[in-house]
Amino acid sequence: MSAREYDVVIVGAGFAGMYLLHRVRRLGMSVRVLEQGSDVGGTWYWNRYPGARCDVESMQYSYQFDDDLQQEWHWPERYSAQPDILKYAQHVADRFDLRKDIDFEMRLASAHFDEESAIWTLKAEDDTVTMARFFVMATGCLSAPNWPKIEGLKSFAGPTYHTALWPHEKVVFSGKRVAVIGTGSSAIQSIPHIAREATHLTVFQRTPNYAIPAHNREMDPELEKEIKTHYPTMRARAKTTSGGLDVVYNQGSIHDATPDERNSAFERNWQRGGLGFMSAYGDLMVDQSANEIAAEFVRNKIRERVKDPQTAERLCPRNVIGAKRLCVDIGYYETYNRDNVDLVDVGAAPIEKITPEGVRAHGRLYEVDALIIATGFDAMTGALTRVDIRGRDDASLAERWKDGPSTYLGLAMHEFPNLFTVTGPGSPSVFSNMLPTIEQHVDWIADCLGHAKSQGFKTVEAEANAEQDWWAHCQELGNIGLKTVTDSWYVGANVSGKARVFLPYFGGIPAYFKKCEEVVENGYEGFAFR
Ligand code: N01
């Protein structure tokens, strides 16, 4: 094969692409990674906004495929800050000498499959062409930035920053009036930092969000030692929970508890902090009245934290708690007690336009020197549909997914032979601790590639029926309970024109992992090898 022909091409050098590169090398297959950034790290390379931090605890948000790595690495804090996670990704790249097989600053534009040769031709934006027998999109679930459709956005005279495309050089806000548009996780993490630095901060809120305190702190050396001593046990325990997190989920009903018992259960979770808040009772995401009790508990906490009662009420979400991904905050609500911070509601009446001077809403111009767009991502499908991917008979993935995606196990699609997706739509992905889930997908894909190689197969493709059945199952699970009652990126509602379809798999990690294992045990059931 020539220099630009490989057995496997992987797109993306985040945690998924890096580990897959490591696994494919060990299969003795030639492999190349195409990465649009100038270094490894994926989401942690791009999301460098002030305060960016993981909402999963450090000791669980890490690779487990190499025991020496997990024993030797030291995380400085309970929840890791973006620079520490990026440092970890860079360390992994050094340790396994990954960079030599990665083309950086290479952004994939198109990927076309030729049926006769069973080869994918991948074209980058700089016209570099790479041929691959197998092609894996390891492009992440939250990686395609979503820009809001607001009139005049490009006319703003000062700098405009998207949280997901933050500059590498330090951005200085001191002496500046700043506007933030959006109040999702990215905004909730960055707002306290920007407020401390800027002369004035105006936050444009369309929908208030629920945030649970992180209670972040320096890593407790005793806890670190304890976890490292029993790492495999902790990792195995985490895989028995629906989210793949080592958190104890109470399956009981809130309606069997007294008001005092409920309060203590929520208070315990509040004091522990983080995403585990909803583990207090088993019916919080299926029963509206149960959910409302949890929501009111959090609203009361917001009322305690925000001094001005009117501002507190405006920050209190009224929608279902947990239907949007919970946010984990460090001092978010208290930020509104500062004199230099204003909250502007743009839910009932949207932002009218952006002008060179600032943001116009409610007939008033809010003059600012810098604009921060914290409007999230074209989640789960955006990174796949923004590339011109064409499978058999020139089938376009973007066209096929116009009314919503469908996949087999979030791993593969019929009509797109030899293409795999890591944590694609229809996999637990964003409803789980991403790193272990990524490892499971990568292991499955690498094993499948090994199988194809050892058996001399040229192609592997999801069968149409298997995909249809799996997708119907995903939709059935998605429609149970309260997950879809609120607009969220889980259902694509945050991107204008995107089909409203529940995107992840909600059957939990144990059921999903078991299904993937059964598929292999049954001779790769639902996949056709040729
Ligand atoms: O994006 P979001 P995000 N005018 O979509 C608002 C992960 N993450 O980047 O709710 C005004 O959640 C929009 O309003 P509304 C995490 O999984 C993880 O913050 O649609 N506002 C919303 O408030 C998270 O869930 C970490 O009404 C507009 C905001 O913009 C996911 O990424 C950290 C608007 C977008 O919130 C996405 O988070 C950060 C408009 N025209 C992110 N358009 C970790 O901790 C949109 N909005 C690991």
Residue bearing tokens 């990465």: 35
pLDDT at residue 518 greater than cutoff 60: yes
In angstroms, what is the span from residue 325 Cα to ligand 1's centroid?
Answer: 9
pLDDT at residue 277 greater than cutoff 50: yes
Residue with CA closest to ligand 1 atom 21: 182
Question: What is the band of 428 on the pLDDT scale with cuts at 50, 70, 90?
Answer: very high
Q: Is 488 in the pocket of ligand 1 (CB under 6 A)?
A: no
pLDDT at residue 152 greater than cutoff 70: yes
Cα–Cα dist 143/328, whole Å: 20
Contacts 24+ apart (CB under 8 A), 475-482: 475/501, 475/502, 477/505, 477/506, 477/507, 478/502, 478/504, 478/506, 480/286, 480/506, 481/285, 481/286, 482/285, 482/286, 482/287, 482/288, 482/291, 482/320, 482/322, 482/323
R_g of the chain computed on alpha carbons: 23
| 169-194 per-residue burial string, b: 16 or more CB within 10 A, e: under 16 | eebebeebbbbbbbbbbbbbbbbbbb
Q: How many helices (H) and strands (E) does the chain have?
A: 15, 20
Instruction: Note the pLDDT tens digit of each residue in 80-130.
Output: 999 999 999 999 999 999 999 999 999 999 999 999 999 999 999 999 999
Ligand 1 atom closest to the CA of 351, numbered from 1: 4
Phi, psi of 192 (to 5 degrees): -60, -35
Mean per-residue pLDDT over the chain, rounded: 97
Q: Rounded to 5 degrees, what angle do the CA atoms 457, 458, 462 make?
A: 85
Q: Which of 47, 57, 142 to mutate to test the pocket of ligand 1 (most atoms within 8 A of CB)?
A: 142
Q: How far is CA 115 from the centre of its chain?
A: 33
User: What is the SS3 string spanning 250-318?
Assistant: CCCCHHHCCHHHHHHHHHHHHHHCCHHHHHHCCCCCCCHHHHHHHHHHHHHHHHHHCCCHHHHHHHCCC
Report, as an integer, the average pLDDT of 515-529: 98
Residue with CA closest to ligand 1 atom 16: 185
Comparing CA positions, the residue from 8, 67, 17, 57 lying closest to residue 41 is: 17
pLDDT (0 to 100) of residue 1: 41
Instruction: Enter the tokens of residue 231.
Output: 């790492």
Provide the 10 A C-beta neighbour count for residue 157: 12
**Hey, is 488 helix, strand or coil?**
coil
pLDDT at residue 168 greater than cutoff 80: yes
Provide the 10 A C-beta neighbour count for residue 287: 17
Instruction: Enter the tokens of residue 304.
Output: 């305690």
Higher pLDDT, 249 or 328: 328
Q: Which of 57, 79, 185, 346 to mutate to test the pocket of ligand 1 (most atoms within 8 A of CB)?
A: 185
Cα–Cα dist 211/324, whole Å: 11
pLDDT at residue 475 greater than cutoff 90: yes
Residue with CA closest to ligand 1 atom 41: 148
In angstroms, what is the span from residue 91 Cα to ligand 1's centroid?
Answer: 30
Instruction: Note the pLDDT tens digit of each residue in 20-79.
Output: 999 999 999 999 999 999 999 999 999 999 999 999 999 999 999 999 999 999 999 999
Paired sense of beta strands 200-205 and 129-137, if any: unpaired
Ligand 1 atom closest to the CA of 430, numbered from 1: 17
Q: Is 150 in the pocket of ligand 1 (CB under 6 A)?
A: yes
pLDDT (0 to 100) of residue 3: 53
Q: Which of 82, 84, 183, 186 to mutate to test the pocket of ligand 1 (most atoms within 8 A of CB)?
A: 186
Q: Is 185 in the pocket of ligand 1 (CB under 6 A)?
A: yes
Report, as an integer, the average pLDDT of 470-497: 95
pLDDT (0 to 100) of residue 220: 97
Share of residues in the chain with pLDDT > 90 (%): 99
Q: Are 439 and 67 in contact (CB under 8 A)?
A: no
Question: What is the band of 2 on the pLDDT scale with cuts at 50, 70, 90?
Answer: very low
Strand ranges in 391-481 using DSSP code E only, listed in sequence order? 419-421, 460-462
Q: Is 144 in the pocket of ligand 1 (CB under 6 A)?
A: no
pLDDT (0 to 100) of residue 17: 98
pLDDT at residue 510 greater than cutoff 90: yes
Cα–Cα dist 260/264, whole Å: 6
Ligand 1 atom closest to the CA of 206, numbered from 1: 27
Instruction: Note the pLDDT tens digit of each residue in 282-325.
Output: 999 999 999 999 999 999 999 999 999 999 999 999 999 999 99
Report, as an integer, the average pLDDT of 243-266: 95
Q: What is the dihedral of CA 262, 263, 265, 267, to 10 degrees?
A: 160
pLDDT at residue 140 greater than cutoff 50: yes
Comparing CA positions, the residue from 358, 368, 376 lying closest to residue 49 is: 376
Question: What is the band of 393 on the pLDDT scale with cuts at 50, 70, 90?
Answer: very high
Q: Is 325 in the pocket of ligand 1 (CB under 6 A)?
A: yes
Cα–Cα dist 188/52, whole Å: 10
Q: Is 380 in the pocket of ligand 1 (CB under 6 A)?
A: no
Residues in the chain: 530
Cα–Cα dist 259/525, whole Å: 49
Q: Rounded to 5 degrees, what angle do the CA atoms 332, 334, 335 make?
A: 70
Comparing CA positions, the residue from 41, 35, 61, 65 lying closest to residue 137 is: 35
